[in-house]
């Protein structure tokens, strides 16, 4: 069996030490010279090993600061719970009497467990025409006028998510929903649609993984070698598609996607009866 290259062996050992907590988030790895002496290899071997860890998103090299273990805070994104919370927030805000409005929040603030004042949002709005993919997702014709909204979400000052969503222009034109100065809107898109008189009855999401574009990597400060989740979403009311989000982009090392699925299984007593009757 061919012996493994020395830089892979060194990278394996350093990776294990990072993952087991010997070098925790924010810790500085030993210098190149210290690592070279510790492993008895050349400096080029150490550089290759550290470069591999950097590509994996485990470390970052700071000018004058050495090689630092990256923090890997992970948010647990639970679509069933977060959208139910959005629906409740929308209902509360538009059914509450004077002085009864709930504290502002969105599914993003719930995901990140942050207060409203710790949440920031940049918004860029533009007119768009549905391309073939968007037309198919909306169930309309190519060229249909849409409002395109490009958002960057921040939690405690850190950029965490990009969202590019589309709304039918005939639904939002001339309304506060089409005004970027009104962002961030408590309750998010669910509340905006409720304001327009539409309640969301169904959410569809498709999740894929890819490498970030250069602009996404710069905006979200994605570490070299780290992929992103790209979530395609549709918000539906009855038979009408009211919003298409193409896409929600989140660095894959910052989020865990969790799904709870109701399978409609019979209760234990019913299941036992089915089994007995099938003998």
Radius of gyration of the chain from Cα atoms? 24
DSSP letter assigned to residue 33: H
- Please report the pLDDT score of residue 273 as a whole number: 60
> Domain 6-69 falls in which CATH fold?
Arc Repressor Mutant, subunit A (1.10.10)
Contact yes or no for 38/89 (Cβ under 8 A):
no
Domain boundaries, the chain: 6-69, 75-257
- Please report the pLDDT score of residue 75 as a whole number: 81
Q: If DSSP codes are grouped into helix, strand and coil, which group holds residue 125?
A: strand
- Please report the pLDDT score of residue 61 as a whole number: 82
Superfamily covering domain 75-257: Chorismate lyase-like (3.40.1410.10)
Mean pLDDT, 10 residues at a time, the chain of 279 residues: 82 91 90 93 93 85 82 72 70 56 77 88 96 96 97 93 96 95 90 91 93 94 88 94 96 84 64 56
ω before 99 within 30° of 0 (cis)? no
- Please report the pLDDT score of residue 98 as a whole number: 46
User: Which pTM was predicted?
Assistant: 0.74
Q: If DSSP codes are grouped into helix, strand and coil, which group holds residue 127?
A: strand
- Please report the pLDDT score of residue 162 as a whole number: 97
- Please report the pLDDT score of residue 256 as a whole number: 86
> Which tokens in the block code for residue 133?
């993919």
- Check if 6-69 and 75-257 are the same fold: no
Name the β-bridge partners of 108. Answer: none
């Amino acid at each position: 069996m061919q012996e493994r290259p020395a830089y892979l062996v060194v990278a394996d050992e350093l990776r294990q030490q990072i993952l087991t907590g010997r070098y925790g988030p924010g810790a500085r790895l030993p210098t190149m010279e210290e690592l070279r002496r510790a492993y008895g290899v050349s400096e080029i071997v150490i550089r290759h090993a550290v470069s591999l860890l950097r590509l994996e998103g485990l470390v970052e090299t700071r000018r004058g600061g050495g090689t630092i273990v990256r923090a890997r805070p992970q948010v647990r994104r639970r679509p069933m719970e977060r959208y139910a919370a959005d629906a409740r927030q929308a209902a509360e805000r538009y059914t509450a009497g004077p002085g009864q409005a709930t504290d502002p929040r969105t599914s993003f603030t719930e995901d990140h467990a942050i207060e409203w004042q710790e949440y920031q949002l940049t918004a860029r709005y533009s007119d768009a025409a549905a391309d073939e993919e968007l037309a198919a997702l909306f169930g309309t014709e190519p060229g249909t006028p849409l409002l395109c909204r490009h958002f960057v979400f921040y939690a405690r000052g850190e950029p965490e998510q990009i969202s590019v969503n589309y709304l039918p222009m005939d639904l939002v034109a001339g309304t506060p929903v089409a005004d970027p100065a009104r962002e961030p809107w408590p309750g998010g898109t669910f509340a905006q649609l409720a304001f327009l008189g539409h309640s969301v009855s169904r959410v569809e999401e498709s999740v894929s993984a890819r490498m970030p574009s250069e602009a996404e990597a710069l905006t979200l400060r994605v570490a070299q070698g780290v992929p992103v989740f790209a979530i395609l979403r549709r918000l539906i009311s009855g038979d009408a598609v009211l919003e298409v989000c193409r896409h929600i982009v989140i660095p894959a090392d910052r989020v865990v996607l969790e799904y709870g699925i109701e399978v409609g299984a019979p209760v234990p007593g019913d299941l036992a009866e089915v089994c007995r009757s099938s003998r």
